[in-house]
Structure 1
Amino acid sequence: MKKRFLVIFLIGLFLLAACGQKGIENPLNYTVNDFTAVTEENKPFEKKDLDGKIWLADFIFTNCADVCPPMTANMTKLQKMVADEDLKNVEFVSFSVDPTVDTPEVLSAYAKNFGLDTTNWTFLTGYTQEFIETYARETFKTLVKKPQEGNQVIHQTYFFLVGPDGKVKKIYDGYKEVPYDDMMKDMKALQ
C-alpha cells in the first residue's frame, strides 16, 4: 500500500512539474541589442517598441534576385498561421540589409506587392550599411555583407524567434525547409 501511494505520489509530482514548465527547450538566449530605425511608413522604430512581445525577425532586401521573395512568402504563411491560431502579442520584423536602396517608400511598395498585413509586420531601414552588418553579426550571429561590386547583398536565410524577454530563443530555416509547426509550437510556449 505504501509503495502504491509512493508511486502515485511521484507520478503526480512529475506531472505537476511537467505542467509547470513554460518556455522553449534549449533556448539560445542571445540578448537582442538596442537599435533605432524607421519603418516602411517612415515612422521611428526602436527595439523598445518590441519589449514584452514575441517577434520573428529576418534579414531581406527588395532587390534580392533569389532568396528574399520566398522568405517573405514563407513569413507571410507564418503570419497567417499565427492569425488563424489567434496567437496574441506576436510581431514580425524584417530588417533591410540594403538600407541605401530600401527607403521607406521602397519597402512600403514591396509590402504592398506581396499583399502583406502590416498591422503586426514591420519593415525596417534608416540605418547605415555598416550598422546592419555589425548588428546582424553581433546580435543575431548571422552574416550580412554588401559586396564592393554588384547589387546583391550576401545574407543568411534564417528566421529568428525573439521572446518577450528580448532574447533570441531559436533560429529556423526561413527559405526551403521551413519548420512551421515547430515555430508555432515555440511561439505558443512563449505566450
Structure 2
Amino acid sequence: MEKLLLAMIVFSIILSSCSAGQVEIMPSYGNEVSDFEVTDQNDEAFKRSDMDGKVWLVNFIFTNCKTVCPPMTMNLTETAKELEDENVKNYGILSFTVDPEEDTPEVIADYIGWFDIPEETEWHLVTGYSPDVIKRFAKANFKTNVDPPKAGEDQATHSTALYLVDAEGTIIKHYSGIDFGDDSYPIEEVVNDVKTLAPR
C-alpha cells in the first residue's frame, strides 16, 4: 500500500512538472493575427511583422470613452509595472482605437500620456485606418464585434477583453479587461502567462 501511495505521489509530481510553464490555448482561438499596417501615438508606422518575436497583450479602446476604456488602460498600466518588477522582457502592449476618425496620433498620444506607464514598456496605441477596417479586423482575428460611433454620437461599442498573442503571432486566449459583474481583471494570471510565453 505504501509503495502504491509513493508511486501515485511521484506520478502526480511528474504530471505537474509537465504542465508547469504552459499556457493553454482557448478552443476558440489558435489563429494567427493577419497582416496590418497602422500608425501609433508617435505618428510612426507599426506593422504586423513588428510583433514577431514578442508576446503581446492586445485590446480595443478609444480615447473619448466615458466608461470602460480608462479602467482597462489603468489595469494594463498596473500589469506593465508588475512585469517591470519581474524584469520580464520581450513583450509589448497593442491597443487599437475603435474610433480612428477622431483618434489621431496627437489625440492618442495625449490620452496615453495621462497614465503612469513604465518608461521601458513598449506600448503602441494605434490608429490610421477606417472604421470599416477595424470592424472587419476585430471580427476576423479576435472574433469580437466593434462598432465605431454612429452619426451624431461619440461613443463606440467594443469588447472589454484583453487578448494574449504569443511570439509567433498566434492568439492564445482572452481575459476580462476590467472588473465587471462576477468577472475581475486577473492581473496575476496575465503576468504569469506573459512571463511563461515571453522569449528569454
Match 1:160 to one of 163, 176, 179:
163
Q: Which runs of 5 or more structure 2 residues have no equivalent in the other structure?
A: none
Q: Which residue of 2 aligns with 1:180?
A: 187
Q: 1:23 & 1:16 partners in 2: Cα distance? A: 12
Q: Secondary structure at the match of 1:132?
A: helix
Report the 3-state secondary structure (helix = DSSP H, G, I; strand = E; otherwise coil) of the residue aligned with 1:172: strand
1:143 corresponds to 2:150: no
Kindly report which structure 2 residues correspond to 1:97-176, keeping only aligned pairs within 5 A, or say none.
97-117=98-118, 119-146=121-148, 147-176=150-179
- Contact (CA 8 Å) 2:81, 2:118: kept in 1 or not? no
Comparing 114-123 with 96-105, greater Cα deviation is found at 114-123
Does residue 15 (structure 1) correspond to residue 17 (structure 2)? The answer is no
Q: In structure 1, how many angstroms separate the alpha carbons of the residues matched to 2:16 and 2:97?
A: 43
The TM-score with structure 1 as length reference comes to: 0.88
Aligned-partner SS, 2:53 = coil
Aligned AA (2:30): N
Identify, as 1 or 2, the structure richer in strand: 1
3-state DSSP of counterpart to 2:185: coil
Worse-matched range after superposition: 27-36 or 88-97: 27-36
Farther-moved stretch of structure 1 (144-153 vs 155-164): 144-153
What RMSD in Å do the two structures reach over aligned CA positions? 2.4
Give the TM-score of the pair, scaled to structure 2: 0.84
Question: How many angstroms does 1:22 deviate by?
Answer: 4.6
Contact kept, 8 Å, 2:35 with 2:48, in 1: the verdict is yes
- 2-side partners of 1:13 and 1:158: how far apart? 34
The whole-number CA distance in structure 2 between the counterparts of 1:45 and 1:65 is 27
Q: Which residue of 2 aligns with 1:87?
A: 88
Q: Show CA shifts across 1:36-61 (max 9, x none).
A: 10110000110100111100011000
Structure 1: gaps of 5 or more residues: none
Give the aligned partner of residue 57 of structure 1: 58
Tell me: CA distance 1:83–1:11, structure 2 relative to 1, closer, same or farther (3 Å).
same
AA of the residue aligned to 1:190: L
CA distance in 2: counterparts of 1:42 and 1:103, whole angstroms: 9
Size of the aligned set, in residue pairs, is 188
Give the CA deviation at 1:26.
3.7
Encode CA deviations 1:74-112: one digit per residue, 9 max, x unaligned: 110111111111111110011010111000000111111
Task: Give the partner amino acid of 2:58.
Answer: A
Question: Secondary structure of 2:164's partner?
Answer: strand
